[in-house]
Structure 1
Amino acid sequence: MRFLFSLIFITFFVLSPSLVFALSWQESPELKPLFTELGIKEGTFVLYDVNENILKGYNKKRAETRFIPGSTYKIPNALIGLSVGAVKNVDEVLPYGGQPQPIKAWEHDMSLRDAIKMSNVPIYQELARRIGLINMWKLLDKLNFGNDEVLKPLMHRRKGLGVVAIDRFWLDGPLKISAVEQVEFLKRLALGELPVDKEIQQSVREILKLEQGENWALFGKTGAVDKYNPSLGWWVGWVEKEGRVYIFALNIDMLDNTYFERRISLGKNCLKKLGVLP
């Protein structure tokens, strides 16, 4: 029995990506003033230098804490949708549903390419409904994105019936992921190592490109979650620079709407301070 337990433990240790990714952490105290300068009291920034195989950043405890991913989930959502044929490609136009939206720019049918740029929630909700519960569940587990949880029973006020929020689980939970897990996932995407067709990974990388300059390119996706008080803001992505790859993930507490822009400003400042962006 003791041998069997040891074998199970060793097998789990070897196969569990979260344990395999237990890299050493290098605290970067020079990042803390960047948070203070922008009036951000609570947050974390993680940089994974793929070449050096080390994690650098600020606030390790928070970096290892799982939060709801918000619109950063549009990345695995797109990968899964393309993999199961819910859309033909990133340029196929999806309907937004015709309902009033909190952001007027979302009230248009559009492709995954265009929708990801403005973080159009209803377009990616339509994608999730087309994917379906079983496909979402199976492929999300293969991608190893955070806790991999899709199902959340929502109790009907009168009847007590459970329903499945296939188009809300990344906005309300139960899906959660830490900043450290974000960089682990994005590292595999950036290097084309996910268990997904290579062409699909390339298509998703392409629609995530934000900026580029001489010998460098920046890829990323924002996210916001209003289920926390205060709200949570994400910015995750990677930088390709002179043949090297740097993966990053940031999350902060957002006290008001001005913090939406502060996420990106802070992230870029951190990347510059660490010598990743010019």
Structure 2
Amino acid sequence: MPPHRPAPAPRRPRTGRLAAVLTALTLLGAACAAPATPPRAAQSTTATAPHSRPASPQVRDDLLEVFRQASVTGTFVLMEAESGRTTVVGRERAARRYVPASTFKIPHSLIALETGAVADAEEVIPYGGRPQPRPEWERDMTLREAIAASNVPVFQTLARRIGLARERHWLRRLGYGNRQTGTALDRFWLDGPLAISALEQTGFLARLATGRLPASRRHQRLVRDLLRVERTVDYALFAKTGWGTAGDPGIGWWVGWVERDGRIWTFALNIDVGDDRDAALRIPLGRRLLHRLGVLPYPA
């Protein structure tokens, strides 16, 4: 196990157009927060942000038909990273916070690298030796392999190396969701209290995709490389799924960004997930919406 290095002293955050836009989007998420009695899908896994009145994004609720045709309930947010122009499908749900589940592996990888809990993408991390829900998780993996396989026990090992104090420090530093860990060191992103909205996901990812998080540029580049799932002559796709099962129904995520023609669009989809059939819809629905909104050149 590599020695733990103390977290670096906070640096002054970068300012500029993107920072101002992201602040407005955070406030927008607050303005559209969930009602006092949220629907069943949100009761045990969500939190809401304070109220305020920022400028509105473009609302495309005509595209809710994509979810209706698949017989699921969901939301989708698309953000042009440099300008901050945002399109929302399902505005109220887009502002509601849910457990990030395995989408937290994105900031978690960065936190592990920044704290020295893992040296690089090729270090082998033990899974713990216990039986797992998925047989493919029952082996030690490198960070690169673990994020591709969405290996929960490997990231739980990293969480124990990082420790609650440094997890909390980095959640605050990165401005990630509601920044809450509770006391369950190796479960807080799966069961709560950590929670994040689709709007907040796109803002966080915009800063990562453009290298503007308050963290090492080298580590941000490495995490971006770990997330690349597709490259064609027309575009590159960076993405991560998540499936939180603490609620009933659960919450399914697909988040990431597309690089195309010198531009970057971040996106976040979440849907209610009751079974494997629903979970299998996350990527196809997300790709369909990216195509309908003109970001991916090919339909799902």
TM, length-normalised to structure 2: 0.81
Give the letter for the 2:109 counterpart. A
Deviation at 1:49, TM superposition (A): 1.6
Does the 8 Å contact 2:127/2:157 carry over to 1? Answer: yes
- Counterpart for residue 149 of structure 2: 118
Among residues 126, 146, 159, which one is paired with 1:128 in the alignment?
159
Q: Which has the larger radius of gyration?
A: 1
Task: State the Cα deviation string for residues 1-24 of structure 1 (Å, max 9, x = none).
Answer: xxxxxxxxxxxxx8x943398553
- Counterpart for residue 35 of structure 1: 67
Give me the whole-angstrom Cα distance separating, in 1, the residues matched to 2:239 and 2:209: 11
- Counterpart for residue 241 of structure 1: 260
- Any idea what SS the aligned residue of 1:258 has? helix
Give the letter for the 2:106 counterpart. I
Give me the whole-angstrom Cα distance separating, in 2, the residues matched to 1:23 and 1:79: 31
- Counterpart for residue 133 of structure 2: 102
- Counterpart for residue 89 of structure 2: 58
Q: Mean Cα displacement is larger for which, 52-61 or 261-270?
A: 52-61
Give me the whole-angstrom Cα distance separating, in 1, the residues matched to 2:82 and 2:62: 22
- May I ask how many residue pairs the two structures share in their alignment? 251
| Identity fraction in percent | 48
Give the gaps of 5 or more residues in structure 2.
Answer: 1-19, 30-53
- Counterpart for residue 27 of structure 2: 19
Among residues 255, 278, 282, which one is paired with 1:259 in the alignment?
278
Does the 8 Å contact 1:210/1:218 carry over to 2? Answer: yes
Does the 8 Å contact 1:72/1:234 carry over to 2? Answer: yes
Does the 8 Å contact 1:23/1:55 carry over to 2? Answer: no
Does the 8 Å contact 1:71/1:222 carry over to 2? Answer: yes
Task: State the Cα deviation string for residues 135-182 of structure 1 (Å, max 9, x = none).
Answer: 11111110000000012xxxxxxxxxxxx3111000011100000000
Task: State the Cα deviation string for residues 156-215 of structure 1 (Å, max 9, x = none).
Answer: xxxxxxxx3111000011100000000010000000000000000000000100111113
Does the 8 Å contact 1:23/1:54 carry over to 2? Answer: no
Give me the whole-angstrom Cα distance separating, in 2, the residues matched to 1:174 and 1:271: 30
TM, length-normalised to structure 1: 0.87
Moved over 2 A (4+): 16-24, 50-53
Give the gaps of 5 or more residues in structure 1.
Answer: 1-13, 152-163
Give me the whole-angstrom Cα distance separating, in 2, the residues matched to 1:52 and 1:94: 39
Give the letter for the 2:236 counterpart. A
Give me the whole-angstrom Cα distance separating, in 1, the residues matched to 2:83 and 2:174: 24
- Any idea what SS the aligned residue of 1:239 has? strand
More strand as a share of residues: 1
Q: Mean Cα displacement is larger for which, 250-259 or 28-37?
A: 28-37
Give the letter for the 1:117 counterpart. A
CA, structure 1 residues 47+23, in 2 after alignment: closer, same or farther (shift >3 Å)? Answer: farther
Deviation at 1:52, TM superposition (A): 4.3
